[in-house]
Structures are given as C-alpha cells and as structure tokens.
Structure 1
Amino acid sequence: MVKIICAGFQKTGTKSLSRALEYLGYNVYDAGEVYMYMRNTWMDFFKGKITIEDVCREYDRQNVDVVVDGPANYFWEEMSKYWPDAKVILTLRDDEDKWYESIVKFYKGIVRWVGKLAYLGYLTPYGYLTEKYLTLPYHMLVFGNCNFHPLVQDFSNVNNEQIYKRKYREHNAYVRRFCPKTKLLVMNVKDGWAPLVSFLETKMPEIEFPFRNKVNSKNK
C-alpha cells in the first residue's frame, strides 16, 4: 500500500526527495519506474480502459510505498482517496521564476541530447504507443500543451512562460487548498532532512541530504 504521494511538479527537487525516501527504506516509483514497470497500466488508463483505482491496485500489486513525479503527481487527490492513510508531500521551488527557468533548461537539454533520437524512437511500436498514450496525454493534462516535448519543441512560443507558470501556481494552490493539513507537507528540498523526518516521524539520518541535479542551489 502506498504510504506517500509526492504531488510536486517536475523540477521541484523530486529526484532529491526520491533518493531521500529510498534511503529511509521506502520502495519508490519515480518517473523511471513508471516507464519501466507501470507503462502499460498508465497507457490503459489514458486510453480509457481502466480507472485510476485500477492504477492504484497495480501499484499495490507491485508493493510500491511512494509515488513521485508524473502521472501520479497530477492524480494525487484521487490516489489520496484510494489510500486515505497516505501522506502527501508537495515540493516547491523558491519561486515560480526559478521553477520555470529550471524546467525550460531541462527540456531543452532533453532536446539537445535525445531530441533527434526521439523521432526515431517514435517510429517504433514501443515509442509510438508510449508517446501517444502516456507522455503526450500527461503533458497536456499538466501543462495544457506539449510545447516542450522533443516531438514539438515550440520553445519560442511567446505564451509559454505565462501558461506554464499559471499551471504551476494552480496545481500548488489546489494541493494546499484541498489536501488535509494533517497529512500534507509543503517543503523545499534545500531545507534538507529536518522537515521530512519530522513529518514522517522518523530518526534523523546520519548522512547529508542526497541532493540531485544541484546547480548553484540545492533545490535545482
């Protein structure tokens, strides 16, 4: 049964949080595990063949303790109803400008390193189905468009910044408004272990907080 639902957007320190929770002994399914072990389940969901409850049952079948990143972050509320005892963690950046700068840099990096290969992968049955029924639908749900996807690459769109920042604000505000305060932790990973171990009521680890993707600041 899932114990922790991480509702934070990408590039809010989710990789650092994922590593920290793994160190604390949780079985964490981040984006990589989703594409490796939950790909078909989420594709069936986006095809309309199964419900979000069916998705949750598959997570239970695979003995997952923590869900991080998409698509689970978008469906935190439905999953919270399915696992009513699960805690919710919302990771935030210092401000939306830093988040937007980071996510643009991230997706431009993907385009630079794998963008051309994405077209080749899209031609394979695996790649085509994954993009059509998982990655692209998720981008549309979260961001309202697919402009940063390697198959689109519409980085010059003058409306991107307004749209993406608004989606970020709306998501965070919704989580803070509707998640019961008794089960919600809003954190910036640059604050390290302290808020996390207090929230989870566990001992302070003897190692430093495992920051990932750190560039100039600890919550990159």
Structure 2
Amino acid sequence: MGRLIDKSPPYQPETPLRLVVVGLSRTGTASLYLALQELGYTPWHMCEPVDDPSRMYNQWTEAMKCRFFGGSRPYDRKDFDKLRGRYDALLDIPACLFWDDFHKLYPEAKIILTTRSGESWFKSVHSTIIPWLEKPLLKFLQHFDSKRLGPEMCMVRTAYKVICDNDYNSSKMIDSYRQHNERVRNGVNPEQFLELQLGDGWEPLCTFLGVPVPDKPYPRVNNTNEFNQGAEEADAAMLTGMFKLWLAVLVPVSVAGLWFYFQKV
C-alpha cells in the first residue's frame, strides 16, 4: 500500500529547516511560536492555521505510523520537506517526536527543548488536551468530519500513543515526559542545543539564535483558560459549519422526497 506522502508532488523548500522545538505540548510552545515569528522565522505549530489541514494532519499521522509502528518506509528528508512546506521551524506534537530524525536528517538545524516540571506538565495536559481528546461529542463527530476534526484527533491521539501508549494516568505520563526530555538531552549535539524553561524569556533564546532581543515583552499565551476557551470557540464554529452542511443536504433531499410523494398521491 502506497504512502500518502508519495502522492504529494516534489517540493523544494525555499528555506532550509532552521530550528526544531522538541518539547512536548504544554511546555510553552505556543508562546515560543509567537516569539519565533517576531524573530523572523516561519514556524509551524498545532495552532497554526493551514489551508489544507487534512493533508498535513494525515501525513503527520502517517509519518508517526511509519516511524514508530512499522506502518511502512519511514520518512526521509525529501518526505519531511514535502510535509513541512514553507515552514523553517517546527514546534509541538507531532514534530517534537521526530527530534532524532530531524537531528540526523537536518544536521544544520538547531534544537530547542522546552521544559517544565513533570507534575505541572501533567496537570496542564489533563486540564486541556486530554479532556478535549476524551470529549464524547467530539469523539462522535470526528467520524463525520474528514477535513479537520477527524484527522486532527487521529493525529493527536497517535502522538500520545507514541508518548505514553494512550495511558493517561499520572505515573505513566510523567515518566514518559521525563524520559523524552532525557533522550533529547543525551542525544543532541550540545553546540546546537538549548533547554528553555517556562519563564526564561528572550535573552537565552536570542543568544542561542544569534539575533537581537526585541524591544517588547516576551509572548505569554495559551494558558489553560485560553486553551479551553479557544477549543470551545473552535468546536462551536465546527458544529455550526456541520449543521449548515447537513441542512444544505437534508433540505433539498426532504423537499424532493415530499415532491415525489405528492406526485404519487
């Protein structure tokens, strides 16, 4: 069975992959995403609006299955170039799970590990991402939305299968989080590596990247309340869109059915 990525046309990125942020979600990656935009990067993050989310999400899921579950031939540099497109920095899941592949395939790229304490990370994930994944309505609706919700939930769930085998209890998840961080610390060339903790701000980041410190506060976004509010707004917009789509289909079908019925009466 052929891979999805093989069906995408060849792509030659205009810019090399300059940076990979390999910290797991809920370690300040959304704030860093905005900071990198300010510093002139074109970063991709889960919060980045994309023109064709189903393509990107489905290909990331395929990349994980090929790399971690023996689905098919793992992605190489040409495959990842097609997947990332114009983005020269990658953050958040699932990109962070391929940290060793990117370090090998793009030896010129710098690596940043964003971290926080295991306990605070677990609390944050269980206040945001896990409730979203386990929401009954979304688990039902994902089967009717192949454009965004279905591919997105499949991608995120596959990422957490890689991280902790979808076992969300505290000991399993915190151990998995700490093991991921240790593997990165021990597996990356120190000259290309920076560990950035929540609250570190501009200075260590800009020193590492060799750029001036902006004359503005470091971004602080996507805390628990902001995440959940954004998720609720996105869910409401999705439900409205699906409702309009169902009306567009059901009303003409119902009218046609009534017309045929009364023709026979």
With the length of structure 2 as denominator, give the TM-score of the two structures.
0.68
Report whether the alignment pairs 1:56 with 2:109.
no
Amino acid at match of 2:193: L
Quote the offset at 1:121 in angstroms. Answer: 2.2
Quote the offset at 1:205 in angstroms. Answer: 0.3
Which residue in the other structure is 1:162 paired with? 171
Sequence identity percentage: 28
CA contact 2:93–2:156 (8 Å) conserved in 1: no
Task: Flag structure 2 segments of 5+ consecutive residues without an equivalent.
Answer: 1-15, 226-265
| 1:172-194 C-alpha deviation (Å, 9 max, x unpaired) | 00100111110000011301001
CA contact 1:90–1:185 (8 Å) conserved in 2: yes
Quote the offset at 1:214 in angstroms. Answer: 4.0
Which residue in the other structure is 2:112 paired with? 89
1:5 alignment partner, SS class = strand
CA contact 2:20–2:90 (8 Å) conserved in 1: yes
CA contact 1:16–1:189 (8 Å) conserved in 2: no
Which residue in the other structure is 2:96 paired with? 73
Task: Flag structure 1 segments of 5+ consecutive residues without an equivalent.
Answer: 148-159
Identify which of 41, 51, 56 aligns with 2:59. 41
Report whether the alignment pairs 1:182 with 2:154.
no
Report whether the alignment pairs 1:121 with 2:142.
yes
Report whether the alignment pairs 1:191 with 2:194.
no
Quote the offset at 1:120 in angstroms. Answer: 1.4
CA contact 1:7–1:74 (8 Å) conserved in 2: yes
Return the alpha-carbon distance in structure 1 between the equivalents of residues 79 and 191 of structure 2: 25
Which residue in the other structure is 2:218 paired with? 209
Identify which of 121, 130, 136 aligns with 1:99. 121
Larger radius of gyration: 2
Quote the offset at 1:107 in angstroms. Answer: 2.8
Return the alpha-carbon distance in structure 2 between the equivalents of residues 43 and 166 of structure 1: 23
Amino acid at match of 1:82: L
Quote the offset at 1:116 in angstroms. Answer: 1.6
Which residue in the other structure is 2:249 paired with? none
Which residue in the other structure is 2:11 paired with? none
Report whether the alignment pairs 1:3 with 2:18.
yes
Are the structure 2 counterparts of residues 50 and 104 from structure 1 closer, same or farther at C-alpha, using a change threshold of 3 Å? same
| 1:61-116 C-alpha deviation (Å, 9 max, x unpaired) | x22110001111011110111110100000011x211111111111355269x652
2:102 alignment partner, SS class = helix
Q: How many residues align?
A: 200
Which residue in the other structure is 1:27 paired with? 42
Are the structure 2 counterparts of residues 24 and 162 from structure 1 closer, same or farther at C-alpha, using a change threshold of 3 Å? same
Return the alpha-carbon distance in structure 1 between the equivalents of residues 200 and 94 of structure 2: 26
Q: Runs ≥4 in structure 1, deviation > 6 angstroms?
A: none
Amino acid at match of 1:89: I
With the length of structure 1 as denominator, give the TM-score of the two structures.
0.81
> What RMSD, in angstroms, separates the aligned Cα atoms of the two structures?
2.5
Amino acid at match of 1:63: R
2:103 alignment partner, SS class = helix
1:69 alignment partner, SS class = coil
Return the alpha-carbon distance in structure 2 between the equivalents of residues 192 and 38 of structure 1: 30
CA contact 1:14–1:68 (8 Å) conserved in 2: yes
CA contact 1:16–1:211 (8 Å) conserved in 2: yes
Are the structure 2 counterparts of residues 190 and 119 from structure 1 closer, same or farther at C-alpha, using a change threshold of 3 Å? same
Are the structure 2 counterparts of residues 209 and 125 from structure 1 closer, same or farther at C-alpha, using a change threshold of 3 Å? closer
Quote the offset at 1:136 in angstroms. Answer: 2.6
